[in-house]
Amino acid sequence: MAASSAVTANYVLKPPPYALDALEPHMSKQTLEFHWGKHHRAYVENLKKQVLGTELEGKPLEHIIHSTYNNGELLPAFNNAAQAWNHEFFWESMKPGGGGKPSGELLALLERDFTSYEKFYEEFNAAAATQFGAGWAWLAYANDKLKVVKTPNAVNPLVLGSFPLLTIDVWEHAYYLDFQNRRPDYIKTFMTNLVSWEAVSARLEAAKAASSSSS
């Protein structure tokens, strides 16, 4: 079972690791107020109501995600559970003054698995831009390899057997107030000004440790 580093907070709406206006002007305070304050909050609150009195109540979030994913035949609580997880992971994938290129081992692996950072950027950008409808684009780690993945709606790499390292939310609510239909501009801003490569590197370390300890 893939580990998730710090995202196991059971049904708690954790605030982002920065103030709601700290990502301005790249992601507005208004967006954070709605995206975190309304959308993310609703997933957490609705999940709590949904599992109350069921066998899922009290189980760790990832357990709920895996069991309600149900090999693709999604059970009712999957949407709220996975979205609660995805959004916490998303806030932690960004930081004020973020963006630019990674360094160290992460950069080395990106260059190994994509031939260059630019090629990775191209692939990640394409995945985020072409995920039709609601969904997410990810950098993930599995079998000692980095790969770019895109997923619909609430699906995430955990249920696909990989370790998520980075994500961008491409549901329209993630960018509509700031960019309207211009998803490509949102993706570019995310990569240039928001990505927290420190968070990605830390997740990569955890993923590698989890992989080697289970092999």
Partner 1 sequence: MAIRCVASRKTLAGLKETSSRLLGFRGVQTFTLPDLPYDYGALEPAISGEIMQIHHQKHHQAYVTNYNNALEQLDQAVNKGDASTVVKLQSAIKFNGGGHVNHSIFWKNLAPVQEGGGEPPKGSLGSAIDTHFGSPEGLVKKMSAEGAAVQGSGWVWLGLDKELKKLVVDTTANQDPLVTKGGSLVPLVGIDVWEHAYYLQYKNVRPEYLKNVWKVINWKYASEVYEKECN
- Binding stretches for partner 1 (CB under 8 A): 34, 38-39, 42, 79, 132-135, 152-154, 171-173, 176-177, 180-181
Q: How far is CA 106 from CA 19, 90, 91, 137, 160, in A?
A: 27, 19, 20, 18, 22
Partners of 166 in the beta sheet?
139
CB of 51 to partner 1, least distance (A): 17
Q: Is 66 annotated as a binding residue?
A: no
* Cβ-based nearer residue to partner 1, 126 or 134: 134
Helices (H), the chain: 29-34, 41-51, 61-69, 78-91, 104-114, 117-130, 176-179, 183-189, 197-214
* Cβ-based nearer residue to partner 1, 80 or 162: 80
Cα–Cα distance between 82 and 86 in angstroms, integer? 6
CB of 202 to partner 1, least distance (A): 30
CB of 128 to partner 1, least distance (A): 15
* Cβ-based nearer residue to partner 1, 154 or 187: 154
Q: How many residues does the chain have?
A: 215
Q: Is 40 annotated as a binding residue?
A: no
Q: Is 169 annotated as a binding residue?
A: yes
